[in-house]
A and B are shown apart, each in its own frame.
Chain A
Amino acid sequence: MAAVLPLAAGAADTEAVVVPEQDDAVASAVMPEDDAAEQSDDVDVYGIIFGHIGDSYEWHITDIGGRKISIPLPVIVRSSTGWHCFLSSRLEDGTGYEGLHISSSDRFDGKIVELDADGNEIRPFDISITRNVLALMISSILLVALILSCSRWYRRHDALSEAPRGVAALLEPVIAMINDDVIKDTIGPGYARFAPYLLTVFFFILINNLMGIVPFFPGGANVTGNITVTFVLAFITFMIVNLTTNRHYWKDIFWPDVPLWLKPIMIVLEIFGVFTKPFSLMIRLFANIMAGHCLILCVVSIIFIAAKIGIAIGTSMTIISVVFGIFMDCLELLVAFIQAYVFTMLSAVFIGLSRERPETGKS
């Protein structure tokens, strides 16, 4: 009984129950790593992972000799005293500037806040160029440059008489695969109206996923692993599905063709289904990419944690961690492509479902 109690207490938070003295040895024997880590300056794994997944007002590149090297990004804020526009380097280390400071409270951790008359923190209207915004801009510029240089080849050459070269040769099989296998087959006639959106969404998600895996600037920002970005993509799909549909879609939802005693259940289910399908699109992409980034960061953090423990375990864990990290990165490449493909395919399927005609052939 005495051996069980320290385990339960040791697993609890530090403000919890007092552990009896003779069981301290048991507790510290069971979890030596935690004690050692807490005493030295431990590797802040939580900070590393959530610093990468979250957003910030500067782009942190690296630490050289204890000094932080980062790119300060513009802060554009409309607080109670009007518009403010300055570089985020003025807000370093919690200092305030023009009444604004970066909060470290639980509710607004990491966000710019101002203090109102009662001393409470409130968030002003914030349209700063944060790291995610800058990464979105960079990947959008990259995407536009790729696609425009691809289309430039087609404008200058006759596609039927010669094979494409350069970027067009890279992108043509991918675009053809998405267009023919995914879009044309699932939507059927009239697919050309939706093909621009679906192809854009595929390449947008693919390029943002790939840029997230690149560890150095300008990659390395977690764009598609941010639920607001995936929410917008799923919302656009939701809008397109529900605004370009025909009457039969709504009839199938509100008065489905089932026996009368099933109709109440089916109507509720169908209305739920209208919202859960884009919701699952959003969560699937967000969770896959965020989980992949978390895993890779954990694997790399193991190197630093093990190095603090000792040299023998540090070396062996480094080798294992590097090998495992390479494997995880290759898996992330696959996941990047698969998630873009699945998002596009499911959006095409939903659009196709909303354009179905009944078997009688009326439109």
Chain B
Amino acid sequence: MQMIAEKIKEKIKELTENGKISRVMGWKKGLYGYDSEPFVFENGDLRDFTYDAFSGANLCKYMIAQSKNDGDGKILVLLKPCDTWGFELLDKEHRIKRENIYALGIPCGGMVDIEKIKKSGVKGITEISEKEDTLILKTMYGEKEVNKKDYLLDKCLVCSSKEYKDCDELFMTDLCGDTAEYDRFEEVEKLEKLSSSEKFEFWRSQLEKCIRCNACRNVCPACSCVKCVFDNDNSGVAAKANANDFEENLFHIIRAFHVCGRCVDCGECSRVCPQNIPLHLLNRKYIKDIKELYGDEDEAALLTFTTEDKEPSVVYERGKNNV
């Protein structure tokens, strides 16, 4: 990874010198080596630039604000394969000014979830370095080596595609790791098998952990409204949702409906959730339903109509088998 990061830096320098870009949206090193965060590098200053096993954050959403002003010149954005899906959605929905962006597709071998490492009992990490698939963890209590593959982010465990969408250039992308063999609908299927009341209990117990920090909404490339209905007093939605203790539940259910048919399954909502609510499962259930009802090919299934579309009664029919 360090080698890739260096090469990317060289590439950035080249693009900057050629006048193709004025800024870079990338990841900046944190204090401990596992807390890199999105950052805009300006004036060719790439100090603390990193691209490591902890660069899981999808940068595409920042492009809404960063591409707005024509006067700022082009911004380079670094995108992993799954990041490009959200990027493409933002482009399709006219939420970014594509002409002000230079999208560079970069390789990804899966990103690591530091929480998983910490949970395994490793404490006091001070520094992390990588050697192929091995993470060398320097801690206050000594050094430890772990295999990166054992601590991947949930979203990487179900990595379904290494396809890059809507990029201006692909850089070293042949170094991408393999997709996961794990079926991303397996967890959804498990939930589908529950009875209505079990499902209700499951989601109730998950969603009641929500602290309404709005991280899921803010990171979601499909949640890109100028004004969210929950922030719009005039819409009355927020007032309705908080009529009782069901508020958090309704927030997530309404959000799932709003992104239904548009969600690209990037898994960011669950990654950023500080309460570890598996929010992506709500969205993935919709994706599964849409695939089953309208097929794989129909990209805007809920917005288009064809004479072959399922009749609405299908919902009732399916519901009958699953009381």
Tell me if chain B binds chain A. Answer: no
Q: Footprint of B on A, CB under 8 Å?
A: none
Residues of B within 8 A of A (CB): none
